């Protein structure tokens, strides 16, 4: 079966009740393709507001969750809690969690496994810094991050891999379609060798890194680009254009 294109909107630490209402209204009124799976991820405090107000064909994701279901972990949110309020997805391993909050590959692997066991679908993020790319360590870095997932993930059915070159996040720099395709193809090859041919063929691989309404359609043409994880542009009306990038081909 062909892999269904998926577009995620990561709002990060942005938004208010009023601004998120405007974003949701824009989505609700948009002419969204039925051929694309769409997921938006507001800050934790607004998850319930967005889930209750956004159209039913748009799913909602948490931006993180902990590797335990309960306990004395002040400030953390459990996957089970996300499920309890009707959230279907979670983003894990984002470069900002790795870089700013120093989450290790192993910690992220444990989080992914626990989230899956709790019934969430996971956007599992991997990606290299500019320094690692210039040192020709892109594959080494990405494969190491993936390996931590393989260590803990038993079933890849509800996992989407999000490749996010750190040097292209929020910088305005975008990996060329060829650069994105090259890494996505390598990821698929690694999954085939280290998990199974079935998982490699069926797992969707998203691209994230300054995707916008102007470059989305071109990136979407690449064979192994199965979607986008969008940051800043998901806070703008052009997010609808990005969601429909594949459908316009």
Nearest of 243, 83, 236, 95 to residue 158 by alpha carbon: 83
Structure tokens at 43: 């800050």
Clarify whether 103 is annotated catalytic: no
Helix (H) or strand (E) holding 18: helix 17-29
Active site residue 76: no
Take residue 121 and report the two structure tokens written for it: 């679908």
Q: What is the largest CA-CA distance in the chain?
A: 50
State whether residue 128 is helix, strand or coil: coil
The single residue of 37, 128, 164, 222 carrying the catalytic annotation is: 164
**Among residues 41, 147, 24, which one has the least CA distance to residue 94?**
41
Residues 94, 107, 128, 184: which is the catalytic one? Answer: 94
Count, residues in the chain:
249
Q: Which residues are catalytic?
A: 94, 164
């Amino acid at each position: 079966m062909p892999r269904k294109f998926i577009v995620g909107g990561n709002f990060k630490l942005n938004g208010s009740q009023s601004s998120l209402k405007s974003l949701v209204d824009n989505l609700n009124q948009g002419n969204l393709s039925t051929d694309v799976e769409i997921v938006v991820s507001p800050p934790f405090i607004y998850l319930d507001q967005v889930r209750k107000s956004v159209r039913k064909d748009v799913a909602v994701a948490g931006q993180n969750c902990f590797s335990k279901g309960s306990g004395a972990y002040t400030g953390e949110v459990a996957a089970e809690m996300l499920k309890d309020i009707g959230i279907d997805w979670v983003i894990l391993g984002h470069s900002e969690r790795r870089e700013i909050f120093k989450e290790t590959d192993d910690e992220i692997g444990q989080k992914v496994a626990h989230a899956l066991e709790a019934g969430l679908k996971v956007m599992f993020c991997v990606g290299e810094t500019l320094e690692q790319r210039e040192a020709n360590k892109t594959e080494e870095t990405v494969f190491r991050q993936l390996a931590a997932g393989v260590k803990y993930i038993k079933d890849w059915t509800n996992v989407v891999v999000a490749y996010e070159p750190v040097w292209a996040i929020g910088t305005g720099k975008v990996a060329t379609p060829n650069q994105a395709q090259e890494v996505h193809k390598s990821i698929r090859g690694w999954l085939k060798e280290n998990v199974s041919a079935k998982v490699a063929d069926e797992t969707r691989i998203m691209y994230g890194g300054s995707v916008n309404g102007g470059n989305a359609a071109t990136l979407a043409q690449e064979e192994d680009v199965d979607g986008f994880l969008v940051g800043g542009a998901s806070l703008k009306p052009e997010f609808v254009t990005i969601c429909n990038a594949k459908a316009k081909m």
